[in-house]
Amino acid sequence: MTGNFSKKYGQVFLNDKNIAAKEVRLLGVNPHDHVLEIGPGNGILTDILINLPIELTAIEPDHRFYENLSIKYSEQRRSGKFHIIKENFLDTKPSYYNHIIGNIPYNLSSPILFKILDFDFDSSILMVQKEFALRLVAKPGTKDYSRLTINAAVRSNINILFNVTRKVFLPVPGVDSAVISIVKKPFDVDIQNFDKFLVKIFSMRRKKLSTILNYNGPFNEKRPGELDINQLLMVYSQI
């Protein structure tokens, strides 16, 4: 199946079982945990997860991989250990899982990340494009610091665990990858309204807040990209 790639789903497949095993170890599952796998594809993570004392649910939109894994793990499906759903993850109704894992398509990284953050979970391990990972953990004052960074930081703590060379994928993509960890954190801000605020100020990120917002607070001489998440939340609460 690894030779049949779909541009529709942005498919490239990890071809290194040692890296897959490392991802699963970092997930830190316990017996009887319920794990959600996003887009199992050729099953390199599934093959490892299926042998753990857990309940596994996989969401796969591509009928070829859905059928392949359904047949391969038919016994586990009958026993209730393994569930596979033929669906686009972005259409999935959020619910609770102990852990979420996946090597996600580069072209859907942002919508998948924020869909995951609509779920309740204890921890998540994702493989994403390295450039995307760097944007998620960017610091104020750097070129990668953006709405993406801030929206993710409001709702979660994200860390880059290790980088992955493009050479261990089929077909070989034009970029490297990184494995990140995500832990949700409580927040008390209206996400939609806060994002509208971010859209406004970051569309004029070279200007000072006093100009953008007619703001006269402690950061009025600062530009949006110079403020950390707590400072931005303070400004948001004052306008």
In this predicted structure, the answer to whether residue 4 has a pLDDT above a threshold of 80 is no
Q: Are the CB atoms for 37 and 102 separated by under 8 Å?
A: yes
10: left (phi over 0), alpha (psi -120 to 50) or beta: left
Same domain, 118 and 137: yes
Let me know if 61 is exposed, middle or buried by CB neighbors in 10 A (0-12, 13-18, 19+). Answer: middle
- Domain limits for position 229: 191-238
Element (H, E) at 55: strand 55-59
Q: Is residue 1 part of a domain?
A: no
**Mean pLDDT in residue range 206-213:** 93
Q: What is the distance between the alpha carbons of residues 85 and 64, in angstroms, rounded to a whole number?
A: 13
10 versus 143: the higher-pLDDT residue is: 143
Q: How many domains does the chain have?
A: 2
Q: Is residue 28 part of a domain?
A: yes
Same domain, 166 and 212: no
Same domain, 94 and 204: no
Q: Is residue 2 part of a domain?
A: no
Q: Per-residue confidence at 10, pLDDT binned at 50, 70, 90?
A: low
Q: Is residue 4 part of a domain?
A: no
Q: Are the CB atoms for 51 and 17 separated by under 8 Å?
A: no
Q: Is residue 3 part of a domain?
A: no
Same domain, 149 and 200: no
Same domain, 128 and 231: no
Strand partners of residue 82 = 56
User: In the predicted model, what is the mean pLDDT of the chain?
Assistant: 94
Same domain, 162 and 209: no
| Coarse DSSP helix, strand, coil percentages of the chain, rounded to the nearest 5 percent | 40, 20, 40
| The pair of three-digit structure tokens given for residue 5, joined into one six-digit string | 């790639």
Residues 26-41 have pLDDT tens digits of: 999 999 999 999 999 9
In this structure, of 7-16, 23-32, 199-208, 227-236, the range with the lowest mean pLDDT score is: 7-16
Same domain, 172 and 203: no
Same domain, 27 and 70: yes
pLDDT of residue 215: 82
The CATH number of residue 131's host domain is: 3.40.50.150
Same domain, 169 and 205: no
